[in-house]
Structure 1
């Protein structure tokens, strides 16, 4: 059963109107995606500019109340927010509305940085989508690459069960707890303790690095390489940086890294500066 949106038209019968009719309410819909549900909001361009949040929420409530229940109780939901600007209060309203019909908001997919930050701060997993940008030709050859998105800054701890995905660099002013994940196309910087899983260069960029004030990771990944924490590792008080070498992922003190290593494109790895001479 599909919810048909209401069409509200303010039209004066005495005045001819040649402009196209615009649907004031773009449709919100819910669908299955493997083991989870997708709750898809219309993009900002698909709704009237003066449509208040309260009416969007009422449309969502109407959809969930009238749609034939085809989901399992407690099923997880990914909110596809597109370019909608949502704050923590609005995300809480959506989560409570879903909870009323036995659905659980777990992930927020968005291409708005403010929405991604609000979702991560509220404890939801985040998938930040890149805004479409033209491809750039590499200076050395005809290979076309897609530029990274602007960095995502999070001023909160990434808790267990929360996964942050971003098509650029991720900067976390807080801890990355065990059970938490940060996956970035660019670098990952943790201004705190890195105790969970961090994956930099997720689109294959071996030049990317991972740094933290305290490295207590469960797992590190750079491009396709994986490093797991040893059973016994000395506790270091100085910040460390993880980077790709020809022998895999290695750690170095952040303060000394730039003095000793340079990136080698032919090797697809960071090498000792003495080897580059």
Structure 2
């Protein structure tokens, strides 16, 4: 079973409705905040203009939201640093709204958000990444996303490509990628590689102690014994297996016809 993607916003009336202005809309029990795209036919809005729109839009909509409602920030292609994200969070808190997730097509924004402790989904710039294919017919992926942070409980990092985490994935946290996952630390939460069905993808970590391990459409039970060396989770003919990371690619080869890895 593939992990469900973040819900798409519904079609409820929005305060602001195009991609040139800040807009807010209800998304189930959450609030979705859309920032204008960085580049449009009418030019790009500078951050001070975007900030003023955001403040005015938020003030006008305060009566519509319940206190402590979760917020998803759709930053689109706009580049945001940690200070701007903190400013957005602080302004939302004044309206008793809680920023929890950042959806972006910019790598720098994704890294800044993950480092600040927010759940992150980095999408392709044209939002058609998942459906696109290269000349070989294989799904195209974004460049690997590198984040230097610990994915804590309640935090989720998603990426349309391979994901590299310099830190741990704690219980209650999740690392999800359409490509490979490499964790330079401990995996004690959820790790899901090949989230669009690619069984060639692997999960590698210094210590694999997951609460849930997935590759493509397959699910594995946590290992019974604690690891004492770096390991790789991969799809074998019998399902997901874990092998020592040392010399993995010398020992195993992926067989496309069987959609699994086998010993050479």
TM band (smaller chain): 0.7 to 0.9
Partner of residue 133, structure 2? 135
CA, structure 1 residues 249+2, in 2 after alignment: closer, same or farther (shift >3 Å)? closer
Would the aligned equivalents of 1:2 and 1:67 in 2 still touch at CA under 8 Å?
Answer: no
CA displacement 1:83-132 (0-9 Å, x = unmatched): 00000100011111111111110100000000000000000000100133
CA displacement 1:231-268 (0-9 Å, x = unmatched): x41x3321000000111100000113223211111111
Matched, 1:260 2:260: no
Shift of 1:145: 3.4
The equivalences for 1:185-204 within 5 A come to 185-204=178-197
- Distance in 1, matches of 2:53 and 2:82, equals 19
Partner of residue 9, structure 2? none
Partner of residue 16, structure 1? none
Q: Alignment partner for residue 270 of structure 1, among 257, 261, 264?
A: 261
- Distance in 2, matches of 1:52 and 1:68, equals 24
CA, structure 1 residues 272+81, in 2 after alignment: closer, same or farther (shift >3 Å)? same
**CA-atom RMSD in angstroms:** 2.1
Shift of 1:58: 1.7
CA, structure 1 residues 191+118, in 2 after alignment: closer, same or farther (shift >3 Å)? same
Shift of 1:3: 5.4
- Distance in 1, matches of 2:220 and 2:16, equals 51
Partner of residue 5, structure 2? none
The equivalences for 1:59-208 within 5 A come to 59-67=53-61, 69-132=63-126, 135-138=133-136, 144-208=137-201
Partner of residue 53, structure 1? 47
- Distance in 1, matches of 2:104 and 2:14, equals 24
CA, structure 1 residues 27+123, in 2 after alignment: closer, same or farther (shift >3 Å)? same
Shift of 1:40: 0.3
3-state SS of 1:99 partner: helix
CA, structure 1 residues 32+45, in 2 after alignment: closer, same or farther (shift >3 Å)? same
- Give the TM-score normalised by the residue count of structure 1: 0.84
3-state SS of 2:246 partner: helix
Shift of 1:212: 0.3
> For structure 2, which runs of at least 5 residues remain unmatched after alignment?
1-12
- Give the TM-score normalised by the residue count of structure 2: 0.87
- Distance in 2, matches of 1:265 and 1:188, equals 20
Matched length: 247
Partner of residue 8, structure 2? none
